[in-house]
Structure 1
């Protein structure tokens, strides 16, 4: 992903699971076809599988089915996706933007004359009956797209571990103490008892060996 976004100087970006899979799919497509999907043209900076150098991959011909077949194999094979997208884990933070779509008649009636003047002054070819049907022609061929911010509120979802390592140890100690009466002090006492028994056995063995040596020296 860093290789993909380094081409945008000064841009701020963060890890995204979807983008990570796109880069992994482009890498697999390049290994299979020698080019990448033209529909994901922004993800052309890739690192070939098993290499360390960054390359600027060529786009596949849109009529070539190799890139679509490679994408189908990537999405349908768990072993391939695990091999190429092994580092694509879940995001720690996600932002969700709620979209609300609406449609209306475009253009507005007050804007029709301005569009008519623009079309007539441009090099756009006009039909022979333009003077009488220009209103219908504009209505049938004009598309307006407006993107507005519906709200300034952003919902941020953060995932974090419910139990930390200290919590796990505390729960284990609490459960063992509750059900079988074992505490940390009891474990230390048990370990001390085992140590004393082992030390006692070692002492007895050494004493027996020493007595045998003394008997042997006396006979000599």
Structure 2
């Protein structure tokens, strides 16, 4: 495993995107437990991309403009939905006190997984980047791709957990400040909207 692979993967993972925004929102609104669950969900959302790449489905998306556009605009639609729901549903970003019940794990996982499943950038990452570090025409190429994918997923989880825990650490400073929370809600809504717009014109 080369240093170039590790460094490039780290840059891709650290760069803020939909998963980072979602994990930050979970940590800020519901604390450390929710942030770790969100990070796990976003990491789990990369599994279909790995499977698609290994089985050759990603190559079809890469070759077929129609298939890629369908996936892309499904992702755009979901990002726009996340922006709308974040702005509309005040319970989606509320700092809870100690007596409040925890955020349902299922809801956090489903949203996180969908965000990354509908992210065509991940498929393009596995199609365009991973093969450069996998020996072609040799035995063990599938195993090598799976190992590299596992490293990518592990790095994704670690970085996202760090983002989420940092957000959870400052959530106490916004307790009892509804105006601050309203402003943060708008920031996350605009972030999802901006990411959706960026994906739409990519």
TM-score normalised per structure 1: 0.20
Q: Looking at CA atoms only, which structure, 1 or 2, has the larger radius of gyration?
A: 1
Bigger strand fraction: 1
Taking CA–CA contacts closer than 8 Å with sequence separation of 6 or more, which of the two structures ends up with the larger relative contact order? 2
